[in-house]
Amino acid sequence: MTDSKNPETIVLHSGWRSDPTTGSVAVPIHQTTSYQFNNTDHAASLFALSELGNIYTRIMNPTNDVLEQRIAALEGGVAALSVSSGQTATAMSLQNIAHAGDNIISSTDLYGGTWNLFANTLPDMGIEVRFVDPSDPQAFENAIDDKTRAIYAETLPNPKLEVFPIAEVAAIGRAHGIPLIMDNTAAPILCRPLDHGAAIVVYSSTKYIGGHGTSIGGLIVDGGNFDWAAAGDRQPYLNQPDPSYHGAVWTVAAAPLGPIAYILKARTTLLRDLGGAMSPFNAFQFLQGMETLPLRMRAHCENASKVADFLSSHDAVERVIYPSLMDDNLKSRADAVMNGGYGALMGFELKAGSEAGKKFIDALQMLYHVANIGDARSLAIHPASTTHSQLSPEDQFSSGVTPGYVRLSVGIEHIDDILADLDQALQKI
Ligand code: PLP
């Protein structure tokens, strides 16, 4: 979905003008399960994929279609798939190209839910996950063998908030016919991983894209920039006959429709077989969220940078973890891929340690204490006593969580009110 307009325009216009029968400007919620075929030939050609069109809402829906076109345009990709959650997006993005007996390589810096999926559930399904510390991009090359099908990482992983070396690792993967799949949940608008060599982008749209903390959803964007056919046996499930679709070879079947082999396979096999579809109502909610996403990201980043300044000069604070405040190497990694700000996730360490972290959270009056990120509201959590409490102190430390670490997801309230709440809570520790 090539759209040369700017992000602020794409989120309002791409993929939709008005409803051809009613003139409705807002995208209607197509709350239907199924679609009347024109005649038997039409039905047969939809099922044969010689024509794209609506069959059944588990696999496609006109409301979701606009969302999919819009996110593909925003990311500079060719097509997208909306699914029931960010977790579904991650799982399907990998199951699409890795089966039992294969392996994928993942950065160690991951959202906890993804870590569990990779450390337990994918191995239960026979897919090995090899974890690699992203501080040395070359380590990804060393982990590759002939069964490696994908590399996976997050653009701006919390709690460390060290931006992933997208271009370096994407180039290593491409040299072996292996795509880099980037979870860009924490940095929409700010970073377009496809521009730096990633092949696939996944999102938890639950976070910034929805933006209002109302709906769970996920998105997978196909960059259309990866030569699956040239990868040959490295990518067997796109290049060999697929018994689950009359022996279709996806790179061949998709060719008349564009470079969409990867996402076409995900839709027509995984969504068909596993379900995990996004409801049209949630697709509508995400379309509403997307309309203000560029504006909100700007406001999130402006506020976050002021919060970082405030905390950096506060006596109770040992250290602030935010990409702009990192050493030259890490800051230049962030500068290489992020435009318009360093995001709105931030960590800080209280000099007084764990008890002070808990007291700080309990003293907050406006910031919400929740296990979430990317809401328009400001959010805070003390990982050592919550999200990371099951980890040993050593594992907490290696994941970037110290006893006094507090994570903030800075919202778009007035900055004076955010700072006032942080200030009064810091006085109570
Ligand atoms: N990826 C990241 C970076 C996340 O923070 C989350 C959720 O917190 C997910 C994926 C999973 O998304 P969802 O909760 O929509 O399944």
**What is the domain-level CATH number for residue 411?**
3.90.1150.10
Residue 232 has pLDDT above 80, yes or no: yes
Q: What is the pLDDT confidence band of residue 372, given thresholds at 50, 70 and 90?
A: very high
Residue 417 lies inside a defined structural domain of this protein:
yes
Query: Which of 288, 306, 338 is the last residue before a domain boundary?
Result: 288
In a domain, 2, yes or no: no
Ligand 1 centre to CA of 68 (Å) is: 18
What local confidence, expressed as pLDDT, does residue 77 receive?
A: 98
For residues 278 and 300, membership in a common domain is answered with: no
What percentage of residues in the chain have a pLDDT greater than 90?
92
Using an 8 Å Cβ cutoff, are 407 and 383 in contact? yes
Q: How would residue 387 be classed by pLDDT, with cut points 50, 70 and 90? A: confident
pLDDT higher than threshold 80 for residue 391: no
386 lies in a domain? yes
Residues 6+ apart with CB under 8 A from 387: 112, 371, 381
Query: How remote is the CA of residue 209 from the centroid of ligand 1, in Å?
Result: 12
In a domain, 1, yes or no: no
Cβ atoms of 211 and 374 closer than 8 Å = yes
Closest alpha carbon to 97 in 267, 274, 277, 262: 262
The residue with tokens 């050593």 is 394
Query: At residue 45, does pLDDT exceed 90?
Result: yes
Q: Does one domain contain both 315 and 379?
A: yes
* Ligand 1 centre distance from Cα of residue 232 (Å): 32
3-class SS of residue 66? helix
With bands split at pLDDT 50, 70 and 90, how would you rate the model's confidence at 68?
very high
Higher pLDDT among residues 49 and 244, named by residue = 244
Task: Tell me which long-range contacts 243-246 makes (C-beta under 8 A, separation of at least 24).
Answer: 244/269, 244/273, 245/269
- Confidence band (pLDDT; 50, 70, 90) for 251? very high
Which residue, of 256, 288, 320, is where some domain finishes?
A: 288
Q: Position 151: which residue type?
A: I
Range of the domain at 335: 295-426
Q: Are residues 344 and 385 in the same domain?
A: yes
Residue ID of nearest Cα to ligand 1 atom 5:
111
- DSSP string for residues in 195-239: GGT-SEEEEETTTTTT-SS----EEEEE-S-S-HHHHGGGSHHHH
Residue found by looking up tokens 């993929």 in the block: 15
E strand segments, 205-344: 218-222, 317-321
Q: Which atom of ligand 1 lies closest to the CA of 185?
A: 3
Element (H, E) at 301: helix 293-312
- Residues whose beta carbon lies within 6 Å of some atom of ligand 1: 85-87, 111, 113-114, 154, 183, 185-186, 204, 206, 216, 218, 373
User: What are the angstrom distances between the C-alpha of 229 and each of 129, 237, 251?
Assistant: 24, 11, 6
Which of 328, 344, 348, 347 lies closest to 336 in space, CA to CA?
328
Q: Are residues 349 and 275 in the same domain?
A: no
The per-residue pLDDT for range 93-120, each reduced to its tens digit, is 999 999 999 999 999 999 989 999 999 9
Best of 154, 184, 190, 206 for a ligand 1 pocket test (most atoms within 8 Å of beta carbon): 206
CA separation for the pair 362, 83 (Å, rounded):
36
Q: pLDDT confidence of 250, banded at 50, 70, 90?
A: very high
Q: Average model confidence (pLDDT) for the chain?
A: 96
The closest residue, in CA terms, to atom 15 on ligand 1 is: 86
My answer on whether 325 and 397 are in the same domain is yes
3-class state of residue 130 by DSSP:
strand
Closest residue by Cα to residue 338 from 367, 376, 312, 304:
304
Residue whose CA is at the smallest distance from ligand 1 atom 8: 372
User: 180 pairs with which residues across the strands?
Assistant: 151
Task: Please give the Cα distance from 334 to 308 (Å, whole number).
Answer: 16
d(CA 62, CA 68): 10
Q: Average pLDDT of 227-241?
A: 98
In 108-156, alpha helices (H): 112-116, 122-124, 138-142
Of 87, 212, 285, 409, the residue with max ligand 1 atoms within 8 A of its CB, to mutate for a pocket test, comes to 87
- H/E element holding 75? helix 62-75
Strands 79-83 and 218-222: antiparallel
Token couple for 333: 């990694």
Residue with CA nearest ligand 1 atom 14: 86
- pLDDT of 218 strictly over 60: yes
Total domains present in the chain: 2
The verdict on 299 and 189 lying in the same domain is no
Tell me the pLDDT tens digit for each residue of 181-196.
999 999 999 999 999 9
Q: Is residue 30 part of a domain?
A: yes
Ligand 1 centre to CA of 206 (Å) is: 7
CA distance 423 to 380: 14
**DSSP-assigned states of every residue in 32-65:** -SB---SSHHHHHHHHTTSS---SBTTT--HHHH
Could you tell me if 398 and 284 lie in one domain? Answer: no
55 pairs with which residues across the strands?
none
Residue 203, phi-psi category: left (phi > 0), alpha (psi -120 to 50), beta (remainder) = beta
pLDDT at 3 over 90: no
Nearest CA to ligand 1 atom 11: 86
Q: Is the pTM of this model over 0.75?
A: yes
Report the percent of the chain where pLDDT is more than 70: 100
* Ligand 1 atom with minimal separation from the 372 CA: 8
Query: What is the CA(184)–ligand 1 centre distance, in A?
Result: 10
Task: Kindly state the average pLDDT of the residues 50-66.
Answer: 95
Atom 4 in ligand 1: residue holding the nearest Cα: 111
Does 399 lie in the same domain as 359?
Answer: yes
**Beta pairing class for 368-369 and 405-409:** unpaired
Q: Which of 202, 204, 220 to mutate to test the pocket of ligand 1 (most atoms within 8 A of CB)?
A: 204
Residues 327 and 416 in one domain: yes
Query: Quick one: 345 and 323 in the same domain?
Result: yes
- Distance (angstroms) between ligand 1 centre and the Cα of 372 equals 9
Mean predicted confidence (pLDDT) in 35-41: 97
230 in the same domain as 304 = no
Other C-beta atoms within 10 Å of 263: how many? 27
User: What CATH number is attached to the domain comprising 238?
Assistant: 3.40.640.10
CA-to-CA distance for 181 and 416, rounded, in angstroms? 38
pLDDT 10s digits, 117-164: 999 999 999 999 999 999 999 999 999 999 999 999 999 999 999 999
Among 288, 319, 337, residue at a domain's last position: 288
pLDDT grade, residue 260 (50/70/90)?
A: very high
C-alpha to C-alpha distances, 335 to 132, 160, 165, 222, 340, nearest whole angstrom: 23, 16, 11, 24, 10
Give the whole-angstrom CA distance, residue 73 versus residue 188.
13
Of 182-186, 206-210, 306-310, 403-407, the one with minimum mean pLDDT is: 403-407
Asked if the model's pLDDT at residue 2 lies above 80, the reply is no
| Spacing, Cα 87 to ligand 1 middle (Å) | 6
168 Cα–ligand 1 center, Å = 25
Q: Is the pLDDT of residue 1 over 70?
A: no
